[in-house]
Amino acid sequence: MSQTLKQAYDWLMRPALEHVCALGPVMKQRTRLLPRAEGLVLEPGVGTGLNLPLYDPDKVKSVIGIDPSAPYLEMARKRASEAPVPVELVQGTAEKLPLEDNSVDTVLLTYTGCSIPDLDAALAEFRRVLKPSGRVLLCEHGRAREPRVQKVQDLLNPVWRPLAGGCNLNRNIAEKLQEAGFAIEHMENFYMLPRPKFLSWLYFGSARPR
Ligand SMILES: C[S@@+](CC[C@H](N)C(=O)[O-])C[C@H]1O[C@@H](n2cnc3c(N)ncnc32)[C@H](O)[C@@H]1O
């Protein structure tokens, strides 16, 4: 998809993204995860900035939000101006971060690992920019544990991905983190919603550089 077409698609998708990503069960997981962020936070795929009001100013020094989508960033800018912590927003991609090595305390990922085209490259970047004492905090949907749900995810993925802005249904986020040199510190797996199961399996937790 050309850049212009992608931006037009994002303009059209923005209300739907805002609606789905702000549903009660989705927000509930954000409110569990966000208080764990500390120091300098990198939020790749910041989207429309739904997390920005939830950062704890007693623990977070500032947030750098990165996203390739101009329409989403426009909405994030409004939320940034009212956020309880300083926020810098950058148009860019997680695969090529404009940040120094060992400079970030927290990488915060919510509902984004599914959409980053080259997740391995992005995870390598997170590893590079995180301080050795830093951590990745994540709440991501992905590959379910039940084989019959996995089959549905594999079957639907080629149709779903182009229709849903590049969202993949079947990524095993915990495995990807470990392959990229992270040790899982804490991981909860559960269905966020009873249905649809193929979209609801969550990876909620944290990982540290090994
Ligand atoms: C489902 S939205 C989630 C947005 C936000 N994290 C949230 O929790 O509301 C997925 C986001 O990933 C972003 N994205 C897609 N490709 C990306 C990339 N290569 N690097 C960083 N973000 C990307 C999209 O623009 C979109 O904002």
Ligand 1 centroid from CA 67, angstroms: 6
21-58 pLDDT tens trace: 999 999 999 999 999 999 999 999 999 999 999 999 99
- Give the range among 1-5, 36-40, 115-119, 155-159 with minimum mean pLDDT: 1-5
In this model, does residue 1 exceed pLDDT 80?
no
The pLDDT value given to residue 3 = 82
The pLDDT value given to residue 102 = 98
Question: For the chain, first and last CA: distance in Å?
Answer: 36
Ligand 1 centroid from CA 47, angstroms: 5
In this model, does residue 89 exceed pLDDT 80?
yes
Would you say 141 and 114 are in contact if contact means Cβ atoms under 8 Å apart?
yes
**Strand spans (E) along 17-129:** 39-44, 60-67, 87-91, 104-110
For residue 10, the ligand 1 atom closest to its alpha carbon is 25
29 lines ligand 1 (CB under 6 A): no
Domain span including residue 149: 3-209
- d(C-alpha 86, C-alpha 79), whole Å: 11
150-174 pLDDT tens trace: 999 999 999 999 999 999 999 999 9
In this model, does residue 141 exceed pLDDT 80?
yes
For the chain, percent of residues with pLDDT exceeding 90: 93
In this model, does residue 105 exceed pLDDT 80?
yes
Long-range contact list for 71-77, CB < 8 A, 24+ apart? 71/7, 71/10, 71/11, 71/14, 72/10, 72/14, 72/17, 72/46, 72/47, 72/48, 73/46, 75/14, 75/18, 75/48, 75/49, 76/46, 76/47, 76/48, 76/49, 76/52, 77/49
Ligand 1 centroid from CA 57, angstroms: 24
Backbone angles phi, psi at 209, to 5 degrees: -60, 135
**Residue 159: CATH number of its domain:** 3.40.50.150
Assigned token pair, 57: 């100013």
Would you say 181 and 128 are in contact if contact means Cβ atoms under 8 Å apart?
no
Among 115, 136, 161, say which to mutate for ligand 1: greatest number of ligand atoms within 8 Å of CB: 115
Q: How many domains does the chain have?
A: 1
115 lines ligand 1 (CB under 6 A): yes
Ligand 1 centroid from CA 116, angstroms: 7
Q: What is the pTM of this model?
A: 0.97
